Amino acid sequence: MSQSLSLEQAADAAAASIAATTSTSGTSAAAAASSVGNTALQQLGSNFNDFLNLLLTQVQNQDPTSPMDTDEFTTELVQFTGVQQQVATNGDLSQLISLQQSNQELQSAPLIGQQATVTAQQITLQNGNGEISFAGQAGQTAAIAIVDSQGNPIVNATVAEQTGTNTWTWNGQDNNGNPVADGAYRLAVETQAAGGTNSASVSYSVLGTITALSSTNGTTQLQLGGLSVPVTSLQAIN
């Protein structure tokens, strides 16, 4: 009994750690990439304007009796044209990326209403039901822990593993049998061999129904109830 309790505590700690450190990792990365791209384009445009002002000032203030060297002036004009073309190219590229993202959303539209398996660190509770799958091995025990946004335990469960794919279903109730609101909840799975004392984290997949599509910082997101994951997290349509 104490071994099972220790394993459950390890699962609780792992789930609480996930809740504390990965609340917005996916969207933050997308936002950072978008911010870097926009900042680079703004800086390039600013440099373009500064270069133009400098060139005009240089021409206006040159000595009429000793004009600028022709070769040097031609070189600066070439540089000016190159910067101008780069600004235009970056603008066109941004429009192309936007069109590609829109096309991706259109192509993903038929997924709405489909049962899907995705990679995530949260279980989605939809209509009082949630489900995950993970690889197991006969003779081992898995502890599953679900916590709220503050890392407080909601559900603890132990599963006798089978070799191959294992499926665990949550009935939407907490440890006291009280129903929990639909939404996305942090979850961790820990495993322990029979007679062992050390636990190890287990990767899992989340099953749910795709309810909507959205776009976050240029990335198409799949909505599975309260769970939002990038479309690249999709493993299978069940």
What 3-state DSSP class applies to 113? coil
Contacts of 71 (CB under 8 A, 6+ apart): none
Higher pLDDT, 122 or 214: 122
pLDDT value of position 78: 64
Residues in a beta bridge with 153: 147
Backbone angles phi, psi at 16, to 5 degrees: -65, -40
CA 150, 180, 12, 162 torsion-angle sign: negative
pLDDT value of position 1: 40
Neighbours of 29 (CB within 10 A): 13
What pLDDT, in 10s, does the model give residues 105-130?
Answer: 545 567 888 899 999 999 999 999 99
- Give the separation between CA 228 and CA 208, rounded to whole angstroms: 11
User: Tokens 């976050």 belong to which residue?
Assistant: 216
- Give the separation between CA 205 and CA 117, rounded to whole angstroms: 6
Residue 234: pLDDT over 60: yes
Helix (H) or strand (E) holding 223: strand 219-224
Half-sphere exposure of 236 (CA within 13 A, CB side): 6
pTM of the model as a whole: 0.64
- Give the separation between CA 221 and CA 211, rounded to whole angstroms: 11
Contacts of 191 (CB under 8 A, 6+ apart): 136, 137, 140, 141, 142, 143, 161, 199, 200, 201, 202
Structure tokens at 157: 């469960």
Whole-number average pLDDT of the chain:
77
Neighbours of 198 (CB within 10 A): 10
